[in-house]
């Protein structure tokens, strides 16, 4: 059995789960084993219909009223119990924060190795995986040992794909053996998101600023251009470490991953840890004094020179063009 | 208030990664070394909590080669009191082996000095990014853990941890102490080490425990730098004179009418 731990919203598996299911199905086809899914939280059983498109044979819905709110330790224990009962050959989680956390708990409880952020799996003796290091700037080929192989899938490394013919999904409820102590870690309250702000991860245009911007005040031109283009400002780590801008605006390995139509990178050199956060940008316009900066050589377009003279000229030209 | 922080020495790669001839390591001949920004924040958080609590001890621990004492001294330069090196021969250690060795060291230390109220780690190591050492340690010690934390309050018997919710906003976890927390950059803005801080750190003692290299159990076969799609950059011009061509690009991309 190939078992995928699925996260869902609005009655269907979320995007990363669909990717995990696509990897699961390719392994099910390669090994001739059935594809199974396990889901948790309210509405789990109701996603069965939507899983047919991914070729899932059985859905196990973790059924415990105490798990209405997310509780990572208890969920890890519940999935570990299911894994011990069914002994799948592979357990696949998403690379989301929750997917990574639950699989880590399963790994810790079962004592099995876990490969995180996998991009490719090669069944065989032994099984091999390709996985991401340095947030994706480096790939590792590794053995994945164990009678039961645990892995999480790197976000957007596997294309979501539908099964040739949708499957009939059998649903089973699974009541895990949990004590109240297992629920000591659970969400106890929430703070809702601020309404109406363009989120960096979803912005269509990101105007990025790095050390070259020089100061907090230096960002005025970037803010203005972002506003003109309906975008938002992103920054490098040098900028957040200096306290010029909050960390919430940092793009990169330890910040946010962006995927805009255009990333306008001003005074940013293009260190690998920054670039992994900007890899999904459809186009990059680099503004930099250094023609040989990695950001410039990796960009789609570039303007060479001082950003503080170039940005005002661009702002004026955009205004005039309207 | 006793806090342990775990940090990992990694090369400070910049614009490009170059591998050694056997493709099994990063060529670090021309590189400096550092720790993950997440771990820098964990160090800062530990120092702040003990300062706010008005007493206690902070300890930094690393599993790595003798040179990793540089990273321990960096942590002591910003206010960490004590340091432990779990010494390796420089070879790579797998995540299971790392967690086991650190757990053993914690047990030994706690048997002598009493429990750590809080164990802080990074959410993921900068290099291997295994996303599991913290959880493995917490489960082995049967302590509650919250991962990916960007806000932390330590109360009398509890810890309240805040992390980003999947769709935006925050989720809060109130858990009993002693606890384990993995931290993400952004939880605080780390201070820079002062000169007197650095001088004090140089004089502090580091406790060394030698590990058996046979326990390392790495699963890596080889490394590979991903191929980048070739992009020939179009230089639009130099200086402010390039502005009209930038506007053309905005138009082509449909950003302005
Ligand atoms: C584990 C780890 C994780 C990291 N995570 C991140 C991360 O998430 N995000 C991140 O950004 N960094 C991250 N970093 C840091 C990263 O390695 C770089 O140090 C950082 O991205 C550099 O920022 P920068 O480009 O602004 O500064 P620099 O590298 O100093 O580059 C400044 C650039 O500005 C140009 N410039 C200067 N003046 C002007 C001017 N007047 N006009 C135009 N151009 C000018 C220069 O030519 C240069 O190219 C991480 C590092 C490590 C080790
Ligand atoms: N060799 C090591 N020495 C000390 N701490 C480590 C080591 N490896 C991992 N850690 C800690 O565990 C966290 C998660 O690492 P990982 O699970 O490998 O991604 C890191 O951010 C560190 O805090």
Digitized pLDDT (tens) for each residue of chain B, 257 residues in all: 999 999 999 999 988 899 999 999 999 999 999 999 999 999 999 999 999 999 999 999 999 999 999 999 999 999 999 999 999 999 999 999 999 999 999 999 999 999 999 999 999 999 999 999 999 999 999 999 999 999 999 999 999 999 999 988 999 999 999 999 999 999 999 999 999 999 999 999 999 999 999 999 999 999 999 988 777 999 999 999 999 999 999 999 999 98
Confidence of residue A163 (pLDDT cuts 50, 70, 90): confident
Radius of gyration of chain A from its Cα atoms, rounded to whole angstroms: 23
Q: Give the per-residue pLDDT at A161.
A: 84
- DSSP string of B7-29, one letter each residue: ---EE---S---B-TTSSSB--T
Residue nearest to atom 39 of ligand 1 (CA): A212
The string of pLDDT tens digits covering residues A86-129 is 999 999 999 999 999 999 999 999 999 999 999 999 999 899 99
State the count of interchain CB pairs (< 8 A) between A and B. 259
Q: Give the per-residue pLDDT at B138.
A: 98
Cα of A51 vs its chain's centroid, Å: 21
The string of pLDDT tens digits covering residues A202-234 is 999 999 999 999 999 999 999 999 999 999 999
Q: Is residue B231 less than 8 Å (CB to CB) from chain A?
A: yes
Query: What does the angle CA A81 – CA A22 – CA B126 come to, to the nearest 5 degrees?
Result: 75
The string of pLDDT tens digits covering residues A288-321 is 999 999 999 999 999 999 999 999 999 999 999 9
Ligand 2 pocket member B87 (CB < 6 A):
no
B residues 44-83 near A, CB within 8 Å?
none
Q: Where does residue B76 rank: exposed (0-12), middle (13-18), buried (19+ CB within 10 A)?
A: buried
Which of A77-81, A146-150, B126-130 has the lowest average pLDDT?
A: A146-150
Q: Give the per-residue pLDDT at B257.
A: 81
Q: Give the per-residue pLDDT at B60.
A: 98
Ligand 2 pocket member B185 (CB < 6 A):
no
Ligand 1 pocket member B37 (CB < 6 A):
yes
Q: To 10 degrees, the CA torsion angle through B47, B53, B55, B61? A: -30
| Long-range residue pairs from A283-287, CB within 8 A, at least 24 positions apart, any chain | A283/B253, A285/B236, A285/B246, A285/B249, A286/B233, A287/A311
Query: What does the angle CA B195 – CA B200 – CA B202 come to, to the nearest 5 degrees?
Result: 95
**Do A221 and A233 touch, CB atoms closer than 8 A?**
no
Asked whether the predicted pLDDT for residue A78 surpasses 80, the reply is: yes
* Interface predicted TM-score of the whole assembly (ipTM), two decimals: 0.97
Q: Which residues pair with B164 in a beta bridge?
A: B170
d(CA A120, CA A127): 11
**Do A154 and A136 touch, CB atoms closer than 8 A?**
yes
Asked whether the predicted pLDDT for residue A198 surpasses 80, the reply is: no
Q: Which pTM does this prediction carry? A: 0.97
Query: Average pLDDT over chain A, rounded to whole?
Result: 96
d(CA A226, CA A315): 10
Q: Give the per-residue pLDDT at A97.
A: 96
**Do B19 and B223 touch, CB atoms closer than 8 A?**
yes
Which are the contacts of B233, defined by CB distance < 8 A and separation ≥ 6?
Answer: A286, A296, A297, A298, A299, A300, A301, A302
Contacts of A101 in chain B (CB under 8 A): 131, 135, 147-148
Q: Give the per-residue pLDDT at A322.
A: 82
d(CA A178, CA A163): 35
Determine the average pLDDT of the residues in A19-25. Answer: 97
Which of these, A231, A234, A236, lies nearest to A205 by C-alpha position? A231
Mutate to test the pocket of ligand 2, among B69, B125, B141 (most ligand atoms within 8 A of CB): B125
Ligand 2 pocket member B95 (CB < 6 A):
yes
């Amino acid at each position: 059995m190939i078992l995928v731990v699925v996260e869902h919203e609005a009655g269907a598996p979320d995007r990363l789960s669909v990717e995990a299911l696509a990897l699961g199905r390719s392994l099910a086809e390669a090994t001739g084993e059935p594809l199974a899914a396990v889901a948790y939280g309210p509405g789990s059983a109701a996603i069965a219909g939507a899983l047919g498109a991914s070729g899932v044979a059985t859905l196990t819905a973790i059924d415990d009223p105490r798990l209405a709110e997310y509780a990572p330790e208890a969920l890890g224990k519940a999935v570990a119990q299911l894994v011990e009962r069914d002994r799948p050959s592979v357990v696949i989680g998403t690379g989301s924060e929750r997917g990574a956390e639950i699989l880590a708990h399963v790994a810790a409880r079962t004592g099995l190795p876990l490969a995180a952020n996998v991009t490719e799996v090669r069944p065989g003796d032994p099984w091999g995986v390709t996985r991401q290091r340095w947030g994706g700037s480096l790939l590792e080929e590794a053995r994945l040992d164990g009678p039961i192989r645990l892995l999480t899938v790197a976000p957007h490394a596997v294309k979501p794909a539908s099964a040739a013919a949708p499957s009939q999904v059998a649903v089973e409820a699974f009541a895990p053996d949990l004590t109240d102590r297992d629920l000591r870690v659970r969400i106890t309250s929430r703070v809702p998101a601020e309404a109406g702000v363009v989120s960096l991860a979803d912005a269509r245009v990101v105007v990025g600023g790095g050390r070259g911007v020089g100061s907090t005040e230096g960002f005025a031109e970037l803010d203005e251009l972002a506003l003109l283009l309906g975008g938002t400002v992103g920054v490098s780590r040098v900028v957040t470490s200096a306290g010029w801008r909050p960390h919430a605006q940092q793009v990169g390995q330890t910040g946010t991953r962006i995927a805009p139509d255009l990333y306008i990178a001003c005074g940013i050199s293009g260190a690998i840890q920054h670039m992994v956060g900007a890899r999904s940008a459809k186009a990059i316009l680099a503004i930099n004094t250094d023609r040989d900066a990695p950001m410039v050589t990796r960009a789609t377009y570039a303007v060479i020179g001082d950003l503080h003279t170039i940005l005002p000229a661009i702002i004026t030209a955009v205004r005039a063009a309207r | 208030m006793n806090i342990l922080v775990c940090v990992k020495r990694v090369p400070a790669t910049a614009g490009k990664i170059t591998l050694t001839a056997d493709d099994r390591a990063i060529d670090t001949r021309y590189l400096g070394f550092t720790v993950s920004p997440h771990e820098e924040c964990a160090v800062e958080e530990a120092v702040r909590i003990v300062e706010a609590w008005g007493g206690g001890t902070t300890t930094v621990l690393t599993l790595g080669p003798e040179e990793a004492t540089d990273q321990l001294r960096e942590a002591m330069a910003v206010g960490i009191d004590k340091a432990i090196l779990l010494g390796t021969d420089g070879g790579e250690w797998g995540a299971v082996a790392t967690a086991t060795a650190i757990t053993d060291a914690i047990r030994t230390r706690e048997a002598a000095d009493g429990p750590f109220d809080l164990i802080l780690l990074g959410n993921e190591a900068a290099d291997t990014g295994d996303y599991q050492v913290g959880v493995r340690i917490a489960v082995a010690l049967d302590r509650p853990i919250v991962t990916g934390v960007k806000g932390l309050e330590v109360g009398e018997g509890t810890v309240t941890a805040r992390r980003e919710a999947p769709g935006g906003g925050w989720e809060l976890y109130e858990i009993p102490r002693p606890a384990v927390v993995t931290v993400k950059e952004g939880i605080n803005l780390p201070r820079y080490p002062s000169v007197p801080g650095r001088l004090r750190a140089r004089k502090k003692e580091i406790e060394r425990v030698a590990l058996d290299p046979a326990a390392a159990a790495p699963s890596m076969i080889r490394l590979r730098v991903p191929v980048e799609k070739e992009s020939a950059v179009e230089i639009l011009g130099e200086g402010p004179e390039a502005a009209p061509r930038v506007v053309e690009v905005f138009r082509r991309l449909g950003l302005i009418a």
